[in-house]
Amino acid sequence: MVTESIPTIVPQSADAEFNPLLSAEARFDQAAERLGLDEGMQKVLRSPAREIIVHIPVQLDDGRLEVFTGYRVQHSIARGPAKGGIRYAPDVSLDEVRALASWMTWKCAVVNIPFGGGKGGIICDPNLLSTGELERITRRYTAELFEFIGPEIDVPAPDMNTNEQTMAWIMDTYSMHSRHTQTAVVTGKPINLGGSRGRSEATGRGCMIVTSEALKRFGLDRASTRVVIQGFGNVGGMSAKLMAQAGFKIVAIVEYDGAVYNTNGLDIAALTAHRKETGSVVDFPGGENIDRDEAMFLDTDVLLPAAKENVITSHNASRLRCKILCEGANGPTTHLADSILAEKGIFIVPDILANAGGVTVSYFEWVQDRQGYFWNEQLVNERLEQIMVESFNDVVAYAEKHGVHNRTAAYMLALDRVAFAIKLRGLYA
């Protein structure tokens, strides 16, 4: 029985609710209080191990010199090397990277893999840069971070606006500096450079697995389960594909330029082909166009936000009409929305559990690179399912034991595991 009362915190400014660092800190505080962690341990868990700011001079294609700012935050290395993606975007900020690095610490701890949390980013607009310019930025960024990353130190991965090509550049640059090939320095690489089979599907597959587990709590079967997915990129698109193949009824896909709906379920393969041909999900012959904002509030069994952060807020959470909220994106729900969702009785599979399939298979890739032996896709998927099911059950059991909601339980479980590792290791002085 859930007895937790989630405090409603009034933001100090209009933008405070949407600051990812403030949201991460609020959830940390709540979990730490429920665990009864002493003030000193809270300070240790809250503080990043290392924050690195680099300034990257690059010669652009037209001959001009430009200087880009890059970040890498290593939040925790208590349970293993830091782990987390690198994003390229014009609005990257140190606060954002700090928040994402801490989420990676808790995410790795929730699924109990031997990594800490890290995150990186470069302030740039990839849409305005050529492939050559992006390569030069990436290689200089890697060179600046050379002594701070590595298979036993910090293992980056792709994130927003970065991909397997970016990881190949990082791997090559690091290898050139270390004077031998080091495939395990990054994950999310091309298969031919030590990447893992099943990696591109991993986050979406993880979402499908935990949603399937959540259905058991409601006595639902896949065939009768209506799903609305916000986002049709790597996570949303792959979740839709795999869930449709598994028998779920995907009734709506919501994208940045519109939404498409079919009460009997969309043909995801046909919709994917339509989007590839037209560049949009709009005007799909197998469904009807609906307002993208209203689509989020359809009467459905599962809502899977898989696009960006801060889409469920204190302003719209009361309008949700789903039984299960599976958070495929990082931070799709603001802290102020949590109390509203709790009052509505929505079963949340929080982001640090729901989308952990990606980092889990990244862990598999790191293991395969280090041992020089690669698994087939069936083995990757079987081991991913085992970890995701065990982690889901751990979080739900923790929630029931402590009388809290799933999100708080996930944070409590993660904090408990990291704090336990720190206590066992002791503090070196």
Tokens representing 40 are: 């000193």
Average model confidence (pLDDT) across the chain: 95
Q: Are residues 124 and 212 in the same domain?
A: no
Q: Compute the distance between CA of residue 303 and CA of residue 421 in angstroms, rounded to an integer.
A: 35
Confidence of residue 82 (pLDDT cuts 50, 70, 90): very high
| Residue 407 is assigned to a structural domain of this protein | no
| Residue 271 is assigned to a structural domain of this protein | yes
pLDDT average, residue stretch 148-171 = 97
CB atoms within 10 A of CB 228: 24
Residue 177 sits in a domain of what CATH number? 3.40.50.10860
Q: Compute the distance between CA of residue 58 and CA of residue 67 in angstroms, rounded to an integer.
A: 6
What is the pLDDT, as a whole number, of residue 3?
A: 57
| Residue 27 is assigned to a structural domain of this protein | no
Tokens representing 4 are: 């937790």
Largest CA distance in the chain: 67
Q: Are residues 182 and 245 in the same domain?
A: no
Render pLDDT for 357-416 as a digit per residue (tens, 0 to 9): 999 999 999 999 999 999 999 999 999 999 999 999 999 999 999 999 999 999 999 999
Q: Compute the distance between CA of residue 218 and CA of residue 75 in angstroms, rounded to an integer.
A: 37
Q: Are residues 287 and 343 in the same domain?
A: yes
| Residue 18 is assigned to a structural domain of this protein | no
Sheet strands side by side (includes 347-349): 288-290, 258-261, 249-255, 226-230, 300-305, 322-326, 347-349
Q: Compute the distance between CA of residue 289 and CA of residue 262 in angstroms, rounded to an integer.
A: 9
**Rounded to the nearest 5°, which phi and psi values hold at 347?**
-80, 115
CA distances from 233 to 43, 118, 237, 264, 280 (A): 37, 23, 5, 23, 11
Q: Are residues 109 and 188 in the same domain?
A: yes
Confidence of residue 159 (pLDDT cuts 50, 70, 90): very high
What is the pLDDT, as a whole number, of residue 393?
A: 98
HSE-CB for 200 with a 13 A CA cutoff: 12
Residue 287 sits in a domain of what CATH number? 3.40.50.720
Domain ranges, residue 112: 48-192
Between 113-122, 180-189, 261-270, 329-338, the lowest mean confidence (pLDDT) is in: 329-338
Nearest partner of 338 among 12, 30, 13, judged by Cα: 30
| Residue 235 is assigned to a structural domain of this protein | yes
| Residue 222 is assigned to a structural domain of this protein | yes
Q: Is the pLDDT of residue 14 over 80?
A: no
Q: Are residues 206 and 349 in the same domain?
A: yes
Q: Are residues 185 and 207 in the same domain?
A: no
**Rounded to the nearest 5°, which phi and psi values hold at 277?**
-80, -40
Domain count of the fold of the chain: 2
Q: Are residues 157 and 274 in the same domain?
A: no
Q: Are residues 52 and 133 in the same domain?
A: yes
Are the beta carbons of 38 and 364 closer than 8 angstroms? Answer: no
R_g of the chain computed on alpha carbons? 21
Render pLDDT for 226-276 as a digit per residue (tens, 0 to 9): 999 999 999 999 999 999 999 999 999 999 999 999 999 999 999 999 999
Render pLDDT for 306-318 as a digit per residue (tens, 0 to 9): 998 899 999 999 9
Encode 85-108 in three state secondary structure: EEEEECCCCHHHHHHHHHHHHHHH
Are the beta carbons of 347 and 217 closer than 8 angstroms? Answer: yes
Specify the pairing of strand 117-123 against strand 226-230.
unpaired
Render pLDDT for 96-107 as a digit per residue (tens, 0 to 9): 899 899 999 999
Render pLDDT for 207-216 as a digit per residue (tens, 0 to 9): 999 999 999 9
Q: Is the pLDDT of residue 9 over 50?
A: no
Single out the residue in 159, 192, 225 at which a domain terminates.
Answer: 192
| Residue 6 is assigned to a structural domain of this protein | no
Q: Are residues 179 and 271 in the same domain?
A: no
What is the pLDDT, as a whole number, of residue 11?
A: 44
Q: Are residues 115 and 226 in the same domain?
A: no
Q: Which residues are catalytic?
A: 119
Are the beta carbons of 259 and 281 closer than 8 angstroms? Answer: yes
Per-residue DSSP letter, 10: P
Q: Are residues 172 and 311 in the same domain?
A: no
| Residue 399 is assigned to a structural domain of this protein | no
Q: Compute the distance between CA of residue 383 and CA of residue 402 in angstroms, rounded to an integer.
A: 29
Q: Are residues 248 and 336 in the same domain?
A: yes
Single out the residue in 164, 192, 220 at which a domain terminates.
Answer: 192
What b/e readout covers 152-161, taking b as 16+ CB neighbours within 10 angstroms? ebbbbbbbeb
Q: Is the pLDDT of residue 198 over 60?
A: yes
What is the pLDDT, as a whole number, of residue 2?
A: 60
Residue 169, helix vs strand vs coil: helix
End-to-end Cα distance, the chain: 44
Encode 116-135 in three state secondary structure: CEEEEEEECCHHHCCHHHHH
Q: Is the pLDDT of residue 10 over 50?
A: no
Single out the residue in 354, 370, 387 at which a domain terminates.
Answer: 354
What is the pLDDT, as a whole number, of residue 321?
A: 97
